[in-house]
Amino acid sequence: MSGKPVVAEDGLDKAPQSSITVANAESIPSSLNHIPFFRRTLFQILVVGICAFSAPGIWSAMNGLGVGGSQSPDLVNTANALLYAFMTVTCFLSPWLTNAVGFRWTLSLGTLGYPLYAAGLYVNNRFGSTWFVYVGAVACGISAGFFWGVEGAIATGYPEEHKRGRYIATWFTFRNFGNVIGGAISLGLNHKVNHRGQVGYQTYLGFIAIQCLGCLFALLLSNPEKVQRDDGTRIEAPRGIYWHTELREMWGLMRSKSILLLTPLFWYFGWTQAYPGTYFATYFTVRSRALGSFLGAIVGTFATWLGGILVDIHWTKKRQTRAIGTYILIALLNSATWIWAVYIQNEYRHTHPVLDWGDQAAFGRGFGVYMFERLAVGMVENYIYWCISNLSDSPGDQIRYSSLLRGIETAGVCIGFGVQAVPTSLIATASINLGLWFFALPFSYYATVGVVRRFNELDKKRDENSEVRSNGIEA
């Protein structure tokens, strides 16, 4: 591979020409329909999805209960800030580990810290000990950074171009399904607990058991060179790259236009993740938090599929129109949601309510804003990874894009949890969320324009290739 990323005239990065081989119609193998299912891109997405369910999905389920199901937000917010601090470092290092051991082993190793995090919460919940919470947070942070980098590269770099929006949605569906299962378990165990407090310690035993399976599921993954796409393109992610070459590639991408334009949106997405759990733990009863974890995951899954369908399905002929239309919908939804959240939070800082579904009038307003947050942020999540997936067709390049941008995201989460652990008033946090969104808005628009320009270039090349083939047939 070259030492520098290839950059288009509009500043949008492209993969080096050697990173992927595109087959002409005549060169697509006749046995394409006989590709083993475990070598197809769909199977790889299912594997990474199952791993996302068992590791970060279950982690999200615990935090969806309101700061890990704990009664005190400060302990878990501090532990999560520590987790994301380590995770930021290892996320940036993910390309080096992947280069050394491959995608499959990096994915497996990345799941190992998650059960320790859940075990720390179990020990704290049952015996009141705090030290294991911090140990679990550090272990989870170290492994999770590698996991986040490689899972993003697989989900965005393996699929065929015309399936990326839906396959990214499939990946997030599995991740959100962790919240669905976790919320259902917790709701069943805590549905009678109509006061604020911590969830029962039995909740964590099921979480730990599921998370222990993640490292085994990851071994079902195929490395890129063994995967065959349905459209006849081959995936190549070279191994054995010297560390200084990898560093030079990463440094080049960090300064690239596409990364700089997407950075504010990734920071916004990371920062906002600390707010919902603290909001739930502060104002809602235990059973209401369990219900929120369950329904929030369903709404989040709907949001990511809505985003994926809008950019993939031909509701309009041009992909450029689909991209801009989806962006406008996301912009309006997020703007309205955070304005509403600030309004509600300003009221709650004076009234300090305890919200339970037994009081429908008061509960519905506070619970509704949380559901809209899940919808708005879920659409952002799909859209930013769809943008990444269109920067390059190669997992070798996607691991760098994913590691850089997810590292920025985890840094945002780290600082967000750290600020919330101080503690900081929720009206201040909600207002910062609103401000960050409006700051990211113009940058994300120009990132969308960059993707649209790449679509125009690809369409132009396809038209040229079709014209050449037609002339060849006539001759």
Residues 6+ apart with CB under 8 A from 342: 427, 430, 431, 434
Question: Angle 34-39-41 (CA atoms, 0-180°, nearest 5)?
Answer: 105
Reported confidence tier of residue 258, pLDDT bands at 50, 70, 90: confident
Residues 6+ apart with CB under 8 A from 328: none
Report residue 105 as tokens. 């082993």
Q: Is the pLDDT of residue 16 over 80?
A: no
Residues 6+ apart with CB under 8 A from 314: none
The pLDDT value recorded for residue 285 is 85
Mapped onto helix, strand or coil, the DSSP state of residue 222 is coil
H or E element, residue 6:
strand 6-7
- The residue whose two tokens read 């290092």 is 93
- Smallest CA-to-CA distance from 296 within 276, 267, 268, 266 is with 276
Reported confidence tier of residue 216, pLDDT bands at 50, 70, 90: very high
The full length of the chain comes to 475
- Smallest CA-to-CA distance from 276 within 293, 261, 259 is with 293
The pLDDT value recorded for residue 108 is 96
* Max intra-chain CA distance, the chain: 82
The pLDDT value recorded for residue 73 is 63
Q: What is the pLDDT of residues 412-445, one digit of tens each?
A: 888 887 887 777 889 999 999 999 999 999 999 9
H or E element, residue 244:
helix 243-254
Share of the chain above pLDDT 90, in %: 29
Q: What is the pLDDT of residues 70-123, one digit of tens each?
A: 545 678 778 888 998 899 899 888 888 988 899 999 999 999 999 999 999 888
| DSSP 8-state code for residue 53 | I
CB atoms within 10 A of CB 135: 15
- Where would I find the beta strands (DSSP E) of 153-279? 234-235
pTM score of the predicted model: 0.74
Reported confidence tier of residue 21, pLDDT bands at 50, 70, 90: very low
Q: Is the pLDDT of residue 12 over 50?
A: no
Identify the bridge partners of residue 6 per DSSP, sorted by sequence position: 14
Reported confidence tier of residue 334, pLDDT bands at 50, 70, 90: very high
Residue type, 15: A
